[in-house]
Structure 1
């Protein structure tokens, strides 16, 4: 389980740098200020959770079922939340907005909240 957390933490971290640079340099002229801010929100949340996955991957002592749920909640949450924002912003900028992605963003947010809630629960039961 640690390897999965470390792999996705590294992947999400690397991609957040790439997407952040892409947004700051190439999309700056193409996106509205609101679109750019939404894109940056996706990048920030992706990086926050990349770091969280790395910390978890380096610190988990055993792979209990709750650890597995925490890690998968963060991985699924980042993918649904951040990547749906990227899709919405880029498709809107190209005047072909993929509206079906709209409901996916809050679903990704729920997975992120679930991951944090499970992490809090784990701390409380081990406290």
Structure 2
């Protein structure tokens, strides 16, 4: 399982660079500064959690178990929902469309999943120190 997390982290890392560059060169000219800030928040949190997912993939060898697996799953799902919803909001606003409430609710849900990933990582470390 740890290899899967490393592969997904590498893919999300590459996508972070691509989305960041696209934001700096393409999105910037299409949206207002406040909407660009929304987009950049998505990129930033995606990049932060690439490193968290890399850590899960690497640390899994020393801290194997359900908690570490859940940390990886929650980080991936959190990035998809948190950053993905911010990218979608930016896209909709760039197209002059209103953003449905449901899409806006995905962002905090993604944030909860990211927080859950950190909590699962902590749990993996605490369980290991007891053994």
TM-score (norm 1): 0.93
* 1:71 equivalent in structure 2: 72
- Asked if the contact 2:56/2:71 (under 8 Å) is kept, the reply is no
- Report the aligned-residue RMSD: 1.3
- The whole-number CA distance in structure 1 between the counterparts of 2:9 and 2:112 is 19
| Aligned positions of 1:1-127 closer than 5 A | 1-61=1-61, 63-99=64-100, 100-127=102-129
- The CA deviation at 1:125 is 3.0
Secondary structure, aligned partner of 2:75 = helix
Contiguous gaps of at least 5 residues in structure 1: none
TM-score (norm 2): 0.90
Secondary structure, aligned partner of 2:28 = coil
- The CA deviation at 1:105 is 0.8
- The CA deviation at 1:93 is 1.1
Contiguous gaps of at least 5 residues in structure 2: none
- The CA deviation at 1:68 is 1.2
- The whole-number CA distance in structure 1 between the counterparts of 2:70 and 2:60 is 13
- The CA deviation at 1:35 is 0.7
Matched length:
127
What whole-Å deviation, never above 9, does each CA across 1:97-119 have from its counterpart, x for those lacking one?
A: 34131111111000000010111
